[in-house]
């Protein structure tokens, strides 16, 4: 205990350089833990976004691309699916339910999803949790809209408010459907998924909104009012994708092959879990690169500690001689330097954990708003504690170099420096 108290006083006397060393180690530890936490939370968040859906069907492209635009609202579809093909597949004897999805519009940066009432009954997330309404109800009128929790909160909407949907999926849309406003009929409870950042309308609403449009552009001189649009046949000609639930899991691969070989048009059916695994395989190289970078940063922080202690050795030779003169043995000097190194490593680890959670608290709203990634605040996991223990152990190992040198110097100098 005397050695530890002496180490604390010694570190305090060099608090400026020690503080910089602790900060360097803390930053490196925060980065190391942050990369691992981000990877883990991203995987859990993506995996919890959709459950209970056996297949996702869209235009033929790639499984990952289909998953991203249909479920995570990232990117755009290469093509649409004809309504005829959709109805044909829904008649398959193994299909229990389907949920059509129509994308391509936005409201103030939030994606607009056209669908049916089955969406609110069939969509599941986080291992089977159904969608719930915080207030209001599903759309009933052609121009009703149901908002995700984040969209409603960020934009300040309440039940009965009017919203204007714009053409295009970007943050800035030049053409607005201001002649056909929608009314907020319901707001969903928070799910921690892209549903929170989505504006939901009916397929009929999507068709009514584009009643005076052709090929993605308004028809010059043609103007269809909202009341006139209600009286029109609003059966869609095409949709972006659809979700499929089967009466038996055994039929998944057979139906997937049937859809992929569909003669009517080029379609792609993908299993959500398989597509997610493909996504993680694509991200694996980047994850490993970030891990290696984080380890290099931690190594740099520990080398900085080594440099700081070694550079102070010459200035501390008189201090070591004084300690020898009052009865300290060379092993005591060795223990003092080892204690200082361990203390700096411990303080650095503690600072890194605090820094990481501070960054998470400040960055959660940004991550949720910009990337749909929800970062939970939880205690470090067993793997994290193992990493922290390795960093502290590495600090002791690194500290052994100046400690051994101090031990040898104390043997060589004896009391000569006190004269």
How many angstroms separate the CA atoms of 388 and 397, rounded? 14
Residue 277 lies in a domain: no
pLDDT at 186 (0 to 100): 96
Q: Which two tokens stand for residue 23?
A: 């900060």
Q: Inform me whether the pLDDT recorded for 174 exceeds 70.
A: no
Looking at 72-213, list the stretches that DSSP marks H as alpha helix, in order from N- to C-terminal side. 83-90, 118-122, 149-155, 203-209
Closest CA to 126 of 47, 220, 22: 47
For residues 177 and 30, membership in a common domain is answered with no
For residues 78 and 201, membership in a common domain is answered with yes
How many angstroms separate the CA atoms of 55 and 75, rounded? 19
> To which residue do tokens 């055994």 refer?
250
| Cα–Cα separations (whole angstroms), residue 285 to 63, 282, 288 | 19, 7, 5
Radius of gyration, alpha carbons of the chain: 31
pLDDT at 370 (0 to 100): 61
Strand partners, 15: none
Backbone angles phi, psi at 114, to 5 degrees: -90, 130
SS3 call for 239: strand
For residues 20 and 95, membership in a common domain is answered with no
Question: What percentage of the chain reaches a pLDDT higher than 90?
Answer: 36
Final residue of a structural domain among 210, 245, 270: 270
Q: Which two tokens stand for residue 330?
A: 């060379």
pLDDT in tens, 113-138: 999 999 999 999 988 899 999 999 99
Residue 8 lies in a domain: yes
Residue 373 lies in a domain: yes
**Cβ distance 268 to 260 under 8 Å?**
yes
How many angstroms separate the CA atoms of 89 and 86, rounded? 5
**Cβ distance 154 to 372 under 8 Å?**
no
How many angstroms separate the CA atoms of 25 and 83, rounded? 59
**Cβ distance 418 to 325 under 8 Å?**
yes
Backbone angles phi, psi at 178, to 5 degrees: -75, -10
| Sign of the four-CA dihedral 229, 231, 233, 234 | positive
pLDDT in tens, 248-300: 989 999 999 999 999 989 999 999 989 988 888 888 888 788 888 888 888 88
Out of 18-22, 167-171, 403-407, pick the least confident: 167-171
Higher pLDDT, 327 or 306: 306
Final residue of a structural domain among 246, 270, 294: 270
Higher pLDDT, 87 or 395: 87
The full length of the chain comes to 419
For residues 97 and 63, membership in a common domain is answered with yes
pLDDT at 415 (0 to 100): 43
For residues 385 and 365, membership in a common domain is answered with yes
Q: Inform me whether the pLDDT recorded for 222 exceeds 80.
A: no
**Cβ distance 147 to 187 under 8 Å?**
yes
- The residue range of the domain holding 109 is 55-270
Per-position DSSP letters for 108-126, written without gaps between them: TTEEEEEE-THHHHH-EET
Q: Inform me whether the pLDDT recorded for 187 exceeds 60.
A: yes
Output the pTM of the full model. Answer: 0.75
Per-position DSSP letters for 371-388, written without gaps between them: H----------HHHHHHH
Residue 398 lies in a domain: yes
> To which residue do tokens 């597509």 refer?
275
pLDDT at 362 (0 to 100): 83
Tell me the average pLDDT across 304-317. 72
Closest CA to 223 of 172, 174, 169, 178: 178
Tell me the average pLDDT across 175-201. 90
Residue 276 lies in a domain: no
For residues 240 and 358, membership in a common domain is answered with no
SS3 call for 306: helix
Residue 278 lies in a domain: no
**Cβ distance 347 to 28 under 8 Å?**
no
pLDDT at 418 (0 to 100): 43
For residues 231 and 301, membership in a common domain is answered with no
For residues 93 and 211, membership in a common domain is answered with yes
Closest CA to 56 of 238, 203, 244: 244
Out of 258-262, 304-308, 314-318, pick the least confident: 314-318
**Cβ distance 246 to 55 under 8 Å?**
yes
Residues 6+ apart with CB under 8 A from 374: 41, 45, 192, 364, 367, 368
For residues 211 and 70, membership in a common domain is answered with yes
pLDDT at 378 (0 to 100): 73
For residues 119 and 231, membership in a common domain is answered with yes
pLDDT at 284 (0 to 100): 80
Tell me the average pLDDT across 72-93. 91
Residues 6+ apart with CB under 8 A from 382: none
Backbone angles phi, psi at 376, to 5 degrees: -70, 150
Higher pLDDT, 84 or 14: 84
For residues 36 and 155, membership in a common domain is answered with no
What is the average pLDDT value for the chain, to the nearest integer? 83
Final residue of a structural domain among 208, 237, 270: 270
Q: Inform me whether the pLDDT recorded for 417 exceeds 70.
A: no
Question: What percentage of the chain reaches a pLDDT higher than 70?
Answer: 85
For residues 37 and 95, membership in a common domain is answered with no
How many angstroms separate the CA atoms of 73 and 85, rounded? 23
pLDDT at 84 (0 to 100): 95
Q: What is the DSSP letter of 51?
A: B
pLDDT in tens, 16-27: 777 888 888 888
Counting the structural domains of the chain, the total is 2
Q: Which two tokens stand for residue 248?
A: 């038996």
């Amino acid at each position: 205990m005397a050695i530890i108290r002496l180490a604390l006083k010694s570190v305090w006397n060099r608090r400026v350089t020690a503080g910089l060393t602790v900060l360097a180690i803390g930053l490196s530890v925060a980065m190391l833990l942050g990369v691992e936490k981000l990877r883990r939370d991203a995987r859990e968040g993506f995996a919890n976004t959709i459950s209970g859906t056996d297949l996702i069907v869209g235009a033929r492209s790639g499984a990952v691309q289909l998953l991203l635009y249909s479920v995570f609202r990232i990117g755009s579809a290469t093509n649409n699916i004809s309504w005829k093909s959709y109805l044909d597949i829904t008649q398959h004897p193994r299909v229990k339910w389907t949920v059509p999805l129509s994308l391509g519009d936005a409201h103030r940066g939030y994606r607009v999803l056209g669908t049916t009432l089955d969406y609110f009954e069939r969509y599941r997330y986080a291992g089977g949790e159904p969608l719930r309404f915080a207030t209001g109800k599903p759309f009933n009128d052609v121009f009703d809209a149901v908002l995700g929790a984040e969209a409603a909160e960020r934009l300040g909407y309440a039940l009965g408010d009017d919203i204007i949907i714009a053409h295009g999926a970007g943050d800035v849309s030049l053409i607005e459907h201001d002649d056909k406003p929608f009314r907020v009929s319901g707001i969903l409870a928070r799910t921690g998924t892209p549903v929170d950042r989505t504006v939901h309308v009916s397929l009929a609403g999507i068709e009514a909104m584009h009643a005076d449009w052709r090929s993605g552009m308004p028809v010059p001189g043609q103007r269809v009012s909202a009341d006139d649009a209600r009286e029109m046949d609003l059966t869609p000609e095409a949709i972006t994708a659809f979700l499929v639930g089967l009466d038996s899991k055994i039929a998944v691969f057979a139906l997937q092959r049937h859809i992929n070989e569909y003669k009517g048009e080029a379609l792609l059916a993908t299993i959500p879990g398989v597509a997610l695994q493909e996504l993680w395989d694509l991200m694996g190289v980047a994850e490993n690169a970030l891990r290696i970078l984080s380890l290099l940063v931690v190594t740099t922080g520990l080398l900085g500690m080594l440099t700081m202690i070694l550079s102070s050795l010459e200035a501390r030779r008189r201090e070591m001689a004084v300690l020898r003169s009052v009865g300290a043995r060379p092993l005591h000097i060795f223990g003092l330097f080892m204690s200082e190194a361990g203390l700096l490593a411990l303080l650095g680890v503690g600072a890194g954990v605090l820094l990481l959670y501070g960054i998470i608290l400040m960055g959660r709203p940004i991550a949720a708003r910009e990337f749909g990634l929800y970062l939970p605040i939880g205690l470090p996991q067993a793997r994290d504690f193992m990493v922290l223990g390795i960093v502290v152990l590495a600090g002791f190992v690194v500290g052994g170099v100046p400690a051994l040198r101090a031990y040898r110097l104390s043997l060589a100098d004896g009391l000569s420096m006190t004269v």
